[in-house]
Chain A
């Protein structure tokens, strides 16, 4: 089975812009979770979607949003980018939200 794919792999944006990241889960997996990884804060949970519904949300501002499509693919959006949003954004795929398998991540740099 193909693993989790994330696009793009690298992204450079400037403050104030918005960005959309994409995640394609493992075939048959219906749960997609997003995490932010930074050197200072480590891995932090953003949100989880299951069958197009957001089931859980982490402690991030409303500038961070996401959605899931009927084919389980997911996107996350960050509006009004700040320097502190520079991070590795990881998508995790799961059949049901239990065992979670991560993609390679999208490295976002905000200048």
Chain B
């Protein structure tokens, strides 16, 4: 079993929809949680970086962490065609610097 599980999709939504992306993890040592966006043939772009349980908002993006359930989410409001990409969750232990990634969810926002 992988340490981080992420539904690969693909996920297709109409423009303006609210998108929900999720990851579950098994290792309770993970303390830092990130979401990256990766366009085709590009490197991952850091969207959100969170530490504690709860919500963090940045523009149209909201990251949610529930450590008791070992579950993290990324919500995208008012989705745009330019949001079409692969979204990767990542996490790391407190003392380590290496990131453990989910397999990524491919999102398409249709105009």
Contact = CB atoms under 8 A, between A and B. Distances in A.
Contact of A56 (B36, B44, B96, B104): B96
A102 B32 contact: no
Contact of B46 (A35, A43, A56, A100): A100
Contacts of A92: 99
Interface string A95-111: 00111111111000000
Contacts of A90: 43-44
B14 to A, nearest CB: 28
Contacts of B98: 33, 45, 48, 56, 58
A55 interface: yes
Interface residues of B, number: 20
A104 B38 CA distance: 10
Interface residues of A, number: 25
A5 to B, nearest CB: 11
A33 B43 contact: no
Nearest to A105: B43
B42 A55 contact: no
A94 to B, nearest CB: 8
A102 B103 CA distance: 17
A58 B32 CA distance: 18
A104 B100 contact: no
Contact of B45 (A48, A50, A97, A102): A102
Nearest to B88: A43
A100 B99 contact: yes
B101 interface: yes
B104 A42 contact: yes
A31 interface: yes
Taking each of A4, A50, A105, which has the highest tally of chain B beta carbons within 10 Å of its own beta carbon? A105
A102 B104 contact: no
12 contacts: A33-B97, A43-B99, A45-B98, A45-B99, A48-B97, A58-B98, A97-B97, A98-B97, A99-B34, A102-B45, A103-B43, A104-B42
